[in-house]
């Protein structure tokens, strides 16, 4: 699938294949949102493509001592130390070791670049605004989900990366990265 992610409705190829199977994503058009849809533990989730930097095959994850429990470690992405967010840990699921078949979705969150573990990236979909509902209108306590999209008759939970870390977790992550040997 890497290097073959396409817009569902436009059919335009929105990828570039590199040495590691990199997929670069674009922004959104006016009034229409594009979502990178991915699978995790048998469920489908999405991220606005405007937040996605690239998609890479899973890399070796180095432990991050004293990091937040929802950060499974860091990767070295072309010289940049990138924390890897574990969505399973955030949602209280068991988190198996990283497998080479997984994808890392590299994205912008608040003031840093992060990687999200995903079982696999599926496709970039163009979603009309009327097919997206604010999560808080349906379910309370959805801090990490900004919306729910209906795509091809299915439901996609849209992640809110800016809300993924609490302020305390953000501070803990900053301290852990600063203290890591690779960061100095």
At residue 14, the pLDDT reads 34
Q: Rounded CA gap, 23 and 4, in Å?
A: 8
Intervals of the chain under pLDDT 50: 1-32, 183-184
Domain layout of the chain by residue ranges:
23-183
At residue 133, the pLDDT reads 79
Q: Answer whether 105's CB lies under 8 Å from 119's CB.
A: no
At residue 146, the pLDDT reads 79
Over residues 76-128, the pLDDT tens digits come to: 999 999 999 999 988 889 999 999 999 999 999 888 999 999 999 999 998 88
Instruction: Tell me if residue 106 falls in helix, strand or coil.
Output: strand
At residue 23, the pLDDT reads 35
At residue 124, the pLDDT reads 94
Q: Answer whether 41's CB lies under 8 Å from 95's CB.
A: no
Q: What is the pTM of this model?
A: 0.77
Among the four given CATH numbers 2.40.50.180, 3.30.300.10, 3.40.50.460, 2.40.40.20, the one describing domain 23-183: 2.40.50.180
């Amino acid at each position: 699938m890497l290097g073959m992610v396409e817009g569902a409705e436009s059919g335009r190829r929105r990828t570039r294949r590199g040495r590691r199977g990199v997929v670069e994503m674009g922004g959104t058009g006016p009034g229409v949102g594009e979502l990178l849809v991915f699978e995790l533990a048998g469920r489908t989730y999405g991220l606005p493509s405007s937040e996605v930097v690239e998609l890479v095959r899973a890399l070796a994850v180095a432990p991050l001592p004293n990091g937040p429990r929802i950060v499974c470690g860091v990767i070295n992405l072309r010289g940049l130390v990138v924390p890897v967010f574990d969505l399973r840990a955030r949602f209280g699921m068991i988190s198996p070791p990283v497998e080479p078949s997984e994808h890392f979705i590299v994205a912008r969150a608040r003031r840093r670049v992060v990687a999200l573990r995903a079982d696999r990236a599926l496709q970039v979909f163009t979603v009309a605004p009327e097919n997206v509902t604010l999560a808080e209108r349906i379910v309370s306590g959805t801090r990490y989900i900004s919306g729910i999209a209906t795509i091809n008759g299915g439901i996609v939970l849209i992640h809110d990366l800016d809300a993924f870390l609490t302020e305390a977790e953000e501070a803990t992550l900053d301290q852990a990265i600063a203290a890591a040997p690779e960061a100095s």
